[in-house]
Structure 1
Amino acid sequence: CLSKFTELEELGETELYNCPTCKKKQRSSKKFWIRMLPNVLCLHLKRFKWNDCFRSKLDVHIGFPIKDLDMSPFILSNIVSISMISIIIRDLKILLKHTIQHGTRNSCGSSIYDLAAIIVHHGNGVGSGHYTSYATHHDSCWHHFNDSSVTICNEDTVLKSKAYILFYIRRQFFSINGSTT
């Protein structure tokens, strides 16, 4: 999903770019990047779509890793173009200080994440249904939370669920002052 979300997209005829130099509408493309990674990464999967006048649920399984989600391919600072330098210039001081002190890649802290929790929507539509969650703690044991019921489950159960929101924790935290924990 992340690769699809961040791939280069050719914009259609209804989305032509108005060139300020030649004053003409031009075909163009767009691409999404992540400029700086957070310590807690929340991925909200699109589970509902519009069909004419109503929304319906997209009830397909989307695979996701429990361990070793590598976000480095999606970080803007790993692939910097000249036209993008003005966008990231204000972050350069922190990035350079961190790189000199800790010798990490172009992203502050680790770009590797591990899954900590997910939210799952059960039901057929937008206006109805029920939410449950799976979460783990330092002991690596997964728990399923369903209202007042909490049960222990295994990783396979988590991997087979149809996640709606995923919460990943960065392996090496980055603090505002440039230090890692």
Structure 2
Amino acid sequence: MASQASTISTKRLGEDYVKLLQDPIPYVTAHPLESNILEWHYVLRGPPDSPYTGGIYHGKVNFPPDFPFKPPALRMLTPNGRFRPQASICMSMSEYHPKTWSPLWTVGAVLNGLLSFMLDTDYGVGVVQSSDQMKQELAAQSWDFNLKDKTFCKLFPDLVEEANQRKNSLYITIT
């Protein structure tokens, strides 16, 4: 059963969402569920000059009912060669480190930190090791993988359209 958001967390998450829409973060998109402001879904785009180039990586952030006073739980859903799919990710801005958490960190800051951690090579809970070649193969597969997820398709229709355009252009190129 989902916990109820406090008035403070609802207000803060709403403000953070407006900030993300007005001032997007490069390579990061995020939306809360309509039915639960405490559950957000994000997509990280693989930055150029990284082994993730061309990939789209869907994940989930669960905020505690007393956010921003406690940190969120982060998970990556798309296989990517850096994070174990569905596993909780340990980083300084996550539930694993409540003592280092700052209520000043916004949703955007957390997701930007996650992208930075994805591009790093530090090891931790929820992290896997793989070759750059494997990461590149998973980047190529990420579009089809995400299209099988109903929540992804509902929250990110622009990426679904982009994926379909990519498929159509590939089909045209092959035929």
Please give the range of the TM-score, normalised by the shorter of the 2 chains. Answer: under 0.3
Which of 1 and 2 has greater Rg? 1
TM-score with structure 2 length normalisation? Answer: 0.24
Q: Indicate the structure with greater strand content.
A: 1
TM-score with structure 1 length normalisation? Answer: 0.24
